[in-house]
C-alpha cells in the first residue's frame, strides 16, 4: 500500500523521522564502497528446517505449486508481523490466518533506521556512511526468525521483501540519508546497492533452507519517477540474479504495482510508463524473476473502482501469454465488499492470475487485547466485513479448485 502513513506507524517508531542531515552527493562509479557492515551478535537460533510434508514453493506453468498442490491460492498482507515483540501474538496471528484457509502471507523483511532506537522498538538495519549494521538480535531479525518459525508451524508460506520505496520503516529514503542520492538514483548508487545486497545476503542466508519462504521480493512498490525504464529493468535483473546466486531454492519476484502498457488497455495513467518509471510487461522477460506481481488501488491512481476488473484481466492475459504466474499481491477499495468482490471474482476466473492477497489482515493481539493497525483497509479476523471480504472468497476458491 502506498501511503497511509499515520496508520502504518501506529505499531512502530517512524524509522525515518531522524533521517535528515549528512546528505552527500550522489555516488559515481569511482565512489568507495560503504564501510564494512557489522552483523551484531545474536543468540537467535536459525529456525530454518524442512519437514517431510513441506517442500519449496515453485511455479507450475501459470500456477503456484505449494507443498505439491497446484491450484489457486488465497493470501494476505501482514506488514507488521515481523515487528511484533511477543511470540504469543505471532502465534495467534499465524494460527488464525492458517485456520481461515489462506496460504501465502506477505511480511516486511525490512525495517531500516538512521538512528538506532533505544526503547526496544524493532529495527533490522542501521544505515550510515560510517558503517552500517544489521541487527540479528532479539529486537532485530530475531523477530523475523520467529515469524518464519510460526509460518513453518502453521504450514504458511511467506513473501519477504528487502526495501520499501516509501519511507515507512526507512525505505529508500533511509539509504539516501546515509549514502546520498535520492529516490531515483538509489537504483544505480553503488554504495547504496552494495549495502542493499549485504542486507539481502544476511536475510536470505538465514532462511535459505526454510520451506516457509514462498518467495523473496526485491522491494515494496519500487518506482523510479521520470527514469528511463532501463533503470528498474537493470536493477531488477541484477538483484534477482544476485538472490538466485545465494539461494536457488526459492522463487524471486519484484513486488511492483504492475504499471505500464498492456495489450487492450484503455490508455489511462497506470497503463503508462510514467506511472512507475518501468514497463511491467517487458520486465517479465527477466528469467531470474519467477512470477510477476500487481497491486490494485484505483482511487489512489485516479480511476473508478470498476476500472479494477480489466486491470486484473489484462495482467492475467499477459502472464498467460508469457507462461509465468501473476500474483494480485495487494488490493484495496475503501474496505467495501461491493467494490472488491468483482476484482476477487475476476482474479479467480482469469487464467494467469495464480493467487490474490487482500490488503490488509487485522487481528486482536492477546498480549494487549488491542487490535492491530487500522489503515482504513484492514479486515479483522472474523469481525466486521470478514465474511464478505475474506471467508466467502475462500469458499469460492475452494469450490473452483475442486471443480
Ligand atoms: C547468549 O547466551 C549466553 C548464555 O545464555 C549468554 O551468556 C550470552 O550473554 C548471550 N549473548 C548474547 C549476545 O545475547
Ligand atoms: C528439523 O527437522 C528434522 C527432520 O524432520 C527434525 O528431526 C528436527 O527435530 C527438526 N528441528 C527443529 C528445530 O524443528
Ligand atoms: C516512491 O516512489 C515515488 C516515485 O518515484 C517517489 O516520488 C517517492 O519519493 C518514493 N518514495 C520514497 C520514500 O522514496
Ligand atoms: C549489479 O550490482 C553490483 C553490486 O552492487 C554492481 O557492482 C553492478 O554494477 C550492478 N550491475 C548492474 C548491471 O546494475
Ligand atoms: C526484454 O525486454 C526488453 C524490453 O522490451 C528488451 O530490451 C530486451 O531485449 C528483452 N530481453 C530479453 C532477454 O528478451
Ligand atoms: C460500497 O460501495 C458501493 C458501490 O460504490 C456503495 O453503493 C456502498 O454504499 C458502499 N458501502 C459502504 C458501506 O460504504
Domains of the chain: 73-402 (3.20.20.80)
Distance CA 140, CA 111 (A): 9
- CB of 314 closer than 6 A to ligand 3? no
Clarify whether 330 is annotated catalytic.
Answer: yes
Kindly report, residue by residue over 206-224, the tens digit of the pLDDT: 999 999 999 999 999 999 9
Query: Rounded distance, CA 56 to CA 214, Å?
Result: 7
Mutate to test the pocket of ligand 5, among 229, 282, 323 (most ligand atoms within 8 A of CB): 282
Which band of pLDDT confidence, cut at 50, 70 and 90, is reported for residue 1?
A: low
Ligand 3 close to Cβ of residue 165 (< 6 A):
yes
- The Cα-based distances of 96 to 8, 66, 144, 211, 353 in angstroms read 22, 19, 18, 20, 25
Mean pLDDT for the stretch of residues 79-104 = 98
pLDDT for position 25:
30
Residue 257 falls in the annotated catalytic set: no
Reply yes or no: is the peptide bond before residue 360 cis, omega within 30 of 0: yes
Separation between Cα atoms, residue 184 and residue 223, nearest integer Å:
8
Confidence label for 13 from pLDDT (cuts 50, 70 and 90): very low
Q: How confident is the model at residue 250 (pLDDT cuts 50, 70, 90)?
A: very high
Residues with Cβ within 8 Å of 115's Cβ and at least 6 positions away in sequence, in order, are 18, 126
Task: Give the active site residue among 133, 257, 329, 330.
Answer: 330
User: 19 pLDDT exceeds 70?
Assistant: no
Phi-psi region of 316 (alpha: psi -120 to 50; beta: other; left: phi over 0): alpha
Which residues approach ligand 6 with their CB closer than 6 A?
336, 338-339
The CB density around residue 52, as the number of other CB atoms within 10 Å, is: 5
pLDDT score at 49: 44
pLDDT in the model for residue 2: 46
Amino acid at each position: 500500500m502506498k501511503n497511509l502513513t499515520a496508520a502504518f506507524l501506529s505499531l512502530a517508531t517512524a524509522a525515518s523521522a531522524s533521517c535528515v542531515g549528512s546528505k552527500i552527493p550522489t555516488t559515481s562509479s569511482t565512489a568507495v564502497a560503504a564501510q564494512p557492515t557489522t552483523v551484531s551478535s545474536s543468540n537467535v537460533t536459525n529456525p530454518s528446517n524442512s519437514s517431510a510434508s513441506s517442500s519449496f514453493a515453485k511455479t507450475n506453468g501459470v500456477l503456484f505449486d505449494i507443498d505439491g498442490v497446484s491450484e489457486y491460492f488465497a493470501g494476505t498482507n501482514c506488514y507488521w508481523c515481523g515487528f511484533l515483540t511477543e511470540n504469543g501474538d505471532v502465534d495467534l496471528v499465524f494460527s488464525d490466518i492458517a485456520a481461515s484457509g489462506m496460504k501465502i502471507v506477505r511480511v516486511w523483511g525490512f525495517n531500516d533506521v538512521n538512528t538506532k532506537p533505544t526503547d526496544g522498538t524493532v529495527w533490522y538495519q542501521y544505515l550510515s556512511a560510517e558503517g552500517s549494521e544489521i541487527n540479528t538480535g532479539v529486537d532485530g531479525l530475531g523477530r523475523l526468525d520467529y515469524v518464519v518459525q510460526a509460518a513453518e508451524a502453521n504450514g504458511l508460506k511467506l513473501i519477504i521483501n528487502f526495501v520499501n520505496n516509501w519511507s515507512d520503516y526507512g525505505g529508500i529514503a533511509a539509504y539516501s540519508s546515509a549514502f546520498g542520492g535520492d529516490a531515483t538514483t538509489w537504483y544505480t548508487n553503488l554504495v547504496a546497492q552494495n549495502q542493499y545486497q549485504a542486507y539481502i545476503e544476511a536475510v536470505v542466508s538465514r532462511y535459505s533452507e526454510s520451506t516457509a519462504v514462498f518467495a523473496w521480493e526485491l522491494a515494496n512498490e519500487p518506482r523510479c519517477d521520470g527514469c528511463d525504464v532501463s533503470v528498474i529493468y537493470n536493477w531488477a535483473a541484477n538483484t534477482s540474479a544476485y538472490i538466485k546466486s545465494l539461494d536457488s531454492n526459492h522463487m524471486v519476484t519484484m513486488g511492483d504495482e504492475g504499471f505500464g502498457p498492456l495489450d487492450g488497455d484503455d490508455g489511462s495513467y497506470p497503463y503508462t510508463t510514467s506511472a512507475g518509471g518501468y514497463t511491467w510487461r517487458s520486465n517479465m522477460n527477466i528469467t531470474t524473476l519467477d512470477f510477476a506481481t500487481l497491486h490494485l488501488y484505483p482511487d489512489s491512481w485516479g480511476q473508478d473502482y470498476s476500472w479494477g476488473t480489466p486491470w486484473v484481466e489484462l495482467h492475467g492475459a499477459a502472464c498467460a501469454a508469457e507462461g509465468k504466474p501473476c500474483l494480485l499481491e495487494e488490493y484495496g477499495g475503501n474496505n467495501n465488499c461491493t467494490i472488491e468482490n468483482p476484482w476477487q471474482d475476476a482474479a479467480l476466473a482469469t487464467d494467469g492470475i495464480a493467487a490474490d492477497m487482500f490488503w490488509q489482515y487485522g487481528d486482536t493481539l492477546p498480549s494487549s487485547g488491542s487490535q492491530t493497525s487500522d489503515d482504513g483497509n484492514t479486515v479483522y479476523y472474523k469481525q466486521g466485513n470478514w465474511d464478505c471480504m475474506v471467508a466467502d472468497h475462500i469458499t469460492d476458491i475452494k469450490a473452483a479448485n475442486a471443480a
